[in-house]
Amino acid sequence: MNVIGKVTVLPQLPAEIARLSELAYNLYWSWTPHAQALFEELDPAIWERFQHNPVRTLLEVPQERLQEVAASPSYLSGYAQVMADFDAYMDRKDTWVATRTPELRPVAYFSMEYGFHESLPIYSGGLGVLAGDHCKSASDLGLPFTAVGMLFHQGYFRQLFDKDGWQNESYDELDLTTLPIRPALGAQGEEVRVRVRIAGREIAVKVWTLQVGRIRVLLLDANVPENSEEDRKLTSRLYGYNQDHRVQQYVLLGVAGIRALRALGVPAEVYHMNEGHAALMSLERIREYVEAGLDFRTAAETAASSTLFTTHTPVAAGNDAFTFDLMDKYIGDWPGQLRTSREELYALARHDQQWDGHTVPAFSMTVFALNVSRAANGVSELHGEVSRGMWNFLYPGAEENEVPIGHVTNGAHNLTFTSQKMRDLLSTVLPGDWTERLEDEAMWQAVEKLSDAQLSDVQREMKREMIAFIRRRVREQLQRNGMPAADVAASEHLLDENTLTIGFARRFATYKRATLLFRDRARLSRIVNHPEHPVQFVFAGKAHPADNPGKAFIQEIYKVSQESEFRGKIVILENYDMNVARHLVQGVDIWLNNPRRPLEASGTSGMKASFNGSPNFSVLDGWWREGYDGENGWPIGEEREYADLAVQDDADAYDLYRRLEEEIVPRYYGTAPGAGSWAATVRRSIETVSPRFSMQRQVIDYVQQYYGPLGQRGAGLAANGAARAREVAAWKGWVRQQWPHTHIQAHANLPTTARPGEKVTVSAQVNPAGIRPEELRVEAVLRRGQEVLHFPLQAGENGTYNAEVPLEGSGLYSLGVRMLPVIPGLSSDFEAGLVKWA
Ligand SMILES: *Cc1c(COP(=O)(O)O)cnc(C)c1O
């Protein structure tokens, strides 16, 4: 058909169930299986066909069916219960924020992707799911919080395997009327448009509202008739077609995102950049201050003082960087708008790169983000450490562990990923309000009261559901590829519910080493085909469309799964998304993760599995390095890095097989003499991982470590026409100018060996070049291994400084003396970027 227009005819909801529509437009249902059940019950086939989409389901269900359920007492009682719970959730006054920190200032959170639910495919993987979960817990805890993202109208891709197991991508144009979003309306009830100039073109951006419990997400959409065909594609796909497309998307997210907040009058005093993609928000925030009359440096200081940056990428090459020429094309008019020079603006982002054997200055999104924020963090303790090492060069004179990048370990939104059956079981031992204090570690000890049988019954049911789901999916795939009827029929017998089942699902980035398990096929075959104690594996995951090595991994697993010795025992499922993720984390017995350490910044899928009683079996990287306690799962390999990757792979693979054979399989089948029961490990994994890696704990950490302090500091710098920001900016300008003229020389009477507790005298001679003594810190720095201790030197006459430095414990110490300019209220000692070592 040649479509000339579209119209949606809305169903008439009978009065008895009139609020189903309201429920469909609030993602509260995405973590509430009972709410989903109300839609599923309307028509299970429609529900399944349209990715569990409540809005779509309401549009598709025949009117007669609506009348029918509206007359069904059992449906109405379920409906009444869900609506009562929903109202109680929405109206709750004593939230965590209201009772603990009511003065918290409003937060604006920017992320390129969000994973809320499979029916809203605007995420590619872990980063998006993390952002979606962050919003859900921000709602649960009652944060004043608004999120900003992009409405990708072709979503991320749908993954299809061909007959040979090669990944193909399919892009479906989303029909926006079937999504739980509404146009954001301005004060006069008009649809809001914001405009952004990119490369001389005026781009119109429509703003949509997505309601997630109590909080709102604003989604930016360039696919509007005012824009050219090319510009309409700016919000078609995640992470663009090429570098040019990507940069423009970043401009849209950052600049149009801030403008959307302003157009809607959304209050925001703390700004959180989730990954460097969001960093260009600072251009617009600085521009606003410049427009209000501030000079560039004061404006930049003010904007930065309320900005937090979270980095997720532990490899240098994974951090986006663009040539200055490319940036000129898309942000070339910004230096003028900010009343600064290109040189000064780009200096905030400069990171020289090696391209084709040449050193080229590049605009790094991460470097820019670090320079235009005053707080930064990695996403696990180890990733914090790795990040401090990676970005140490931006803080000359700082020791690695002084680099001002902290960490907040990731979490996952428990309720989104925990099955209803497990929730029901947990409710039998946890207090009535357990879903509201998920981070409470003591509360979770009650899980010890669950019996082995209770757990294994629930886990068996979850596993059955997963196996049925996998068989259905594989059958569909085989039919689509025109496979022989015998093969299609065989899919009815894939996997066995009595067999130890291990899940592995994530993006197929090569560092995640999806094929590590296959390093020794013969040994794997012995494990899988053990006559009494077999093991089976389920894989899933998407490779980035341009990542052929990742696609080759998928194909390798697919081919192994077709070999006769592994058929029906190793399965790889298509189209990993949140739906597949939920089925797998709920249904498998163990969750496997074997990335190449330390490249997994955090990882979160193992947390979701633990919530459901599937212990984690993983390399001690990311979150698991903190989460593993000796009893709640198993490690793989050692806590170290290797120079030779092949050696690392061999060592890890060997350890993986050994632990499976010697520890995990015997424990699962109850054949380990004297060892604890399988259920003991299951209980331990639920009770330790659920609170510590709850998204609720994560968001509380962000509030306490960052949102609260930054909000106060930012407000202090911005008050009275940014008076303090102006002082700080002026002071930095002055000390930077004086610094080359300063001088320091130091002396210490160090013996070659010393007794513990002995003191050494350290002295320095300083020429402060006019910098006031109270603004100059002269200190001795004592380093022993990773530990760094500071001892201030006291000012004496004529530029002399002295201190007695105690050597407290035994060990090999290095001593240095340095000076740095400081004033009260800086975000870190390295903010001015000036350190001089003697
Ligand atoms: C949780 C999740 C991820 C993240 O998994 P990792 O453990 O970080 O690899 C990716 N994709 C989906 C769909 C998820 O639900």
Please choose from 507, 585, 600, 608 the residue to mutate so as to test ligand 1's pocket, defined by most ligand atoms within 8 A of CB: 507
Cα 573 to ligand 1 centroid, rounded to whole Å: 15
Nearest protein CA to atom 8 of ligand 1, as residue: 603
| Rounded (5°) CA angle 244-248-254 | 145
Q: State whether the beta carbon of 126 lies less than 6 angstroms from ligand 1.
A: yes
Which part of the chain is CATH 2.60.40.10? 742-837
How far is ligand 1, taken at its centre, from the CA of residue 518, in Å?
22
d(C-alpha 715, C-alpha 728), whole Å: 14
Estimate to the nearest angstrom the gap between the alpha carbon of 519 and the chain centroid.
Answer: 30
- Cβ atoms of 469 and 584 closer than 8 Å: no
CA of 231 to the centre of ligand 1 (A): 31
According to the model, what pLDDT value does residue 355 have?
A: 84
Q: What is the mean pLDDT of each run of 10 residues along the chain (838 residues)?
A: 74 94 98 98 97 97 95 98 98 97 98 98 96 98 98 94 96 94 94 96 98 98 97 92 95 98 98 98 98 98 98 89 96 98 98 90 97 98 97 95 97 98 98 97 98 97 98 96 94 96 94 94 97 97 93 96 96 97 98 94 97 98 97 94 91 96 95 83 98 98 98 97 97 97 93 87 96 95 89 94 90 93 93 95
- Cα–Cα–Cα angle for 534, 536, 537, nearest 5°? 155
Kindly give the distance from the C-alpha atom of residue 455 to the centroid of ligand 1, in angstroms, as a whole number: 25
Return the residue whose CA atom lies nearest to atom 2 of ligand 1. 126
Nearest protein CA to atom 11 of ligand 1, as residue? 125
pLDDT at 316: 82
C-beta separation of 815 from 782 below 8 A: yes
Q: Is the CB of 610 under 6 A from ligand 1?
A: no
Residue 148, ligand 1, Cβ within 6 A: no
Residues in Cβ contact with 461 at an 8 Å cutoff, skipping those fewer than 6 apart? 421
Kindly indicate whether the domain formed by 96-157+169-410+700-719 is annotated with CATH number 3.40.50.2000: yes
Q: Whose CA is nearest to atom 1 of ligand 1?
A: 605
Look at residue 755 in the predicted model and tell me its pLDDT.
87
Mutating to test ligand 1, I would choose from 312, 506, 618 the residue with most ligand atoms within 8 A of its C-beta, which is 506
Pick from 157, 604, 614 the residue to mutate for probing ligand 1's pocket: most ligand atoms within 8 Å of its CB. Answer: 604
Query: Does ligand 1 have an atom closer than 6 angstroms to the CB of 577?
Result: yes
Is the CB of 603 within 6 Å of ligand 1? Answer: yes
Predicted pLDDT at 588: 98
**In this predicted structure, what is the pLDDT of residue 832?**
93
Is residue 152 exposed (0-12), middle (13-18) or buried (19+ Cβ within 10 Å)?
A: buried
Residue 118: CB within 6 Å of ligand 1?
A: no
| 604 CA distance to ligand 1 middle (Å) | 6
Structure confidence by residue, pLDDT tens digits, 766-788:
999 999 999 999 999 999 888 88
What are the two backbone dihedrals, phi and then psi, of residue 596, each rounded to the nearest 5 degrees?
-80, 110
Coil, strand or helix at 613: coil
Please count the other Cβ atoms lying within 10 Å of the Cβ belonging to residue 480. 13
Residue at 650: amino acid letter:
D
**Ligand 1 site, residue 459, Cβ cutoff 6 A:** no
335 lines ligand 1 (CB under 6 A): no
Is 506 close to ligand 1, i.e. is its CB under 6 Å away?
yes
Atom 6 of ligand 1, nearest CA residue: 603
Give phi and psi for 800, each to the nearest 5. Answer: -95, 150
Burial class (CB in 10 A: 0-12, 13-18, 19+), 389: middle
**pTM of the entire predicted model:** 0.97
Considering Cα of 660, then 666, then 672, then 676, what sign does the dihedral take? positive
- Cβ of residue 129 lying under 6 Å from some atom of ligand 1: yes
Q: Is 616 in the pocket of ligand 1 (CB under 6 A)?
A: no
What distance in Å separates the CA atoms of residue 279 and residue 319, rounded to the nearest whole number? 12
> Does ligand 1 lie within 6 Å of residue 383's CB atom?
no
> In the CATH scheme, what architecture does the domain 742-837 have?
Sandwich (2.60)
What atom in ligand 1 is closest to the CA of residue 576? 13
Tokens 């869900």 belong to residue: 82
Distance of alpha carbon 657 from alpha carbon 537, whole angstroms? 13
Identify any residues that bridge with 765 across adjacent strands, giving them in sequence order: 745, 800
Question: 506 with 605: CB under 8 angstroms?
Answer: yes
pLDDT for the residue numbered 756? 86
Instruction: Please measure the distance between the N-terminal and C-terminal CA atoms of the chain and give it in whole angstroms.
Output: 78
Q: Is 581 in the pocket of ligand 1 (CB under 6 A)?
A: yes
- Return residue ranges of the chain for CATH 3.40.50.2000: 96-157+169-410+700-719, 495-690
Atom of ligand 1 nearest to the CA of 126: 4
Nearest to 754 by CA among 711, 679, 813: 813
142 CB contacts (<8 Å, ≥6 apart)?
92, 95, 96, 97, 98, 214
Query: Among the atoms of ligand 1, which is closest to the Cα of residue 577?
Result: 13
Residue whose Cα lies nearest atom 3 of ligand 1: it is 126
Name the CATH code of domain 495-690 (choices 3.40.50.2000, 3.40.190.10, 3.40.50.300, 3.30.390.30). Answer: 3.40.50.2000
Q: Give the pLDDT confidence score for residue 787 in this predicted structure.
A: 86
CB atoms within 10 A of CB 99: 10
Task: Determine the residue type at 474.
Answer: V
User: Does the beta carbon of 113 sit less than 6 angstroms from any atom of ligand 1?
Assistant: no
Of the candidates 326, 307, 89, 71, the one whose C-alpha atom is nearest the C-alpha of residue 198 is 326
Residues 392-425 as b or e (16 or more Cβ within 10 Å = b): bebbeebbeebbbbbbbbbbbbbbbbbbebbbeb
> Which atom of ligand 1 is the closest one to the Cα of 581?
15
Q: Is the CB of 159 under 6 A from ligand 1?
A: no
Report the chain's C-alpha Rg in angstroms.
29
Distance of CA 130 to CAs 63, 110, 212, 539, 616, Å?
38, 12, 14, 21, 19
Q: What is the Å distance from ligand 1's center to 498 Cα?
A: 26
Tens-digit pLDDT profile for residues 463-508: 999 999 999 999 999 999 999 999 999 999 999 999 999 999 999 9
Please give the pLDDT value at position 749: 85
132 Cα–ligand 1 center, Å: 12
